[in-house]
Amino acid sequence: VLNAVEAMPDGGRLDIYAARQNRRIAITFSDSGAGIPPDVMPQLFEPFFSTKHSGTGLGLAVSQEIIAEHGGTLTAVSPAINSQGNGRSGATFTVTLPIAELETAV
């Protein structure tokens, strides 16, 4: 959420959705910010990589690792924007996690 807010300094829209997908929950965070340049996408989850002037570049890397430790995934997509600035902007991050099964007392 913080990354989305920072990507929209002049305001914008952040949509958060959750949906069950079989035995998993998927939570998507879609913003209307500037988007992620295609050349940045391959490095997005690398430790210490950042496009920000301040920060450690650990946020997404650590988040992805924590989610993976819980059996989930963290992915990102950002539609391409052509050289004229046309096209859809923004980015969508999706967290998927397994749904825990409750044990029933016998």
pTM (2 d.p.): 0.83
Give the 3-state secondary structure of residue 61.
Answer: helix
* 13-30 pLDDT, tens digit each: 999 999 999 999 999 999
DSSP 8: -
Contact 37, 27 (CB under 8 A): no
Residue 85 has pLDDT above 90, yes or no: no
The CA-CA-CA angle for residues 63, 65, 70, to 5°, reads 100
